[in-house]
Amino acid sequence: MPRDVIILACTECKARNYTTTKNKRIHPERVEYKKFCRKCGKHTIHKESR
């Protein structure tokens, strides 16, 4: 299957808050989303962690 589970980590506090899936054949680069971090208490950019 081309879809893999990825973990999103906050760029400010490095907390791993979210999991999602992505198609690695279409998007081989790392993704980043702006999501709410419960530890920081605000919306921050979350990047794909390895």
pLDDT at 50: 80
Reported as a single tens digit per residue, the pLDDT across 13-38 is 999 999 999 999 999 999 999 999 99
Domain spanning 3-49, CATH architecture = Single Sheet (2.20)
The arithmetic mean of pLDDT across residues 34-44, rounded, is 96
Between the alpha carbon of residue 9 and those of residues 1, 21, 28, 40, 42, the distances in Å are 24, 14, 18, 12, 14
Q: Where are the domains of the chain?
A: 3-49
d(CA 6, CA 50): 8
d(CA 6, CA 28): 12
- pTM of the predicted model, to two decimals? 0.85
Residue where the block lists tokens 């879809």: 3
Task: Report whether pLDDT(46) > 90.
Answer: yes
Copy the structure tokens of residue 48.
């794909």
**Residue 8: exposure state from Cβ atoms within 10 A (0-12, 13-18, ≥19):** buried
